[in-house]
A and B are shown apart, each in its own frame.
Chain A
Amino acid sequence: QSVLTQPPSVSAAPGQKVTISCSGSSSNIGNNYVSWYQRLPGTAPKLLIYDNNQRPSGIPDRFSGSKSGTSATLGITGLQTGDEADYFCGVWDSSLSVRVFGGGTKLTVL
């Protein structure tokens, strides 16, 4: 059981918007910065969002991150078939003193 809770799967049609939630607690999301990662099939995970809502260079603005209380959300607009991937959230847990992750969400673009 992962420390952070994500839905196992989400789906949406091309061109639509989808959100992926990541739920935690005050010891992790509530008081630390959240990051998001994309893992396309057979490839290395890639950083999508850091510090809750910052995009690294090269990540399109179709990807966005937000945080409220002990939950975080990844938003993807203008869905493309190439966005089909597993998405993970990650954060530092101050009580456990380790980095923790969500279980991952598989995005299907129908």
Chain B
Amino acid sequence: EVQLVESGGGLVQPGGSLRLSCAASGFTFSTYWMSWVRQAPGKGLEWVANIKQDGTDKYYVDSVRGRFTISRDNAKNSLFLQMNSLRAEDTAIYYCAREAPWNYYYDYWGQGTLVTVSS
């Protein structure tokens, strides 16, 4: 059974940092692109970043580029999101999601971890 379990969320002050983790199991992690997707309060889902199977290619939404860094450790079946210079508008539930090999959909998601940026 495919499982994605996020952790690392919490309350942080504006300008602070957090590192999110996603533990993957039940599939060959190293063969899939992975994404972080977030949902801010009262808003829809927003793709944040994704990373290629071997970690060589990484992409970000404009609003986080330069502040967030996506990475992965295939030996530990783990995905990460390092979030720096956090802003109030980064407050959201952050989901780890597995990308299907074609046609841009997500076939598995984690349950999410809440990040709150507030003083």
Q: Which residues of A contact B (CB under 8 A)?
A: 2, 4, 6, 32-33, 35, 37, 42-47, 50-51, 56, 88, 90-92, 98-104
Q: Which residues of A contact B47 (CB under 8 A)?
A: 98-101
Residues of B within 8 A of A (CB): 4, 35, 37, 39, 43-47, 61, 95, 97, 100, 103-112
Q: Which of B35, B104, B111 lies in contact with A43, CB distance below 8 A?
A: B111
17 more A-B residue pairs beyond the given contacts A44-B111, A45-B97, A92-B104, with a C-beta to C-beta distance below 8 A: A2-B43, A2-B44, A4-B44, A32-B103, A33-B105, A35-B103, A35-B106, A44-B4, A44-B95, A45-B106, A50-B103, A50-B107, A51-B105, A99-B35, A101-B37, A103-B43, A104-B45
Q: Which residue of chain B lies nearest to A5 when distances are taken between CB atoms in the complex?
A: B44
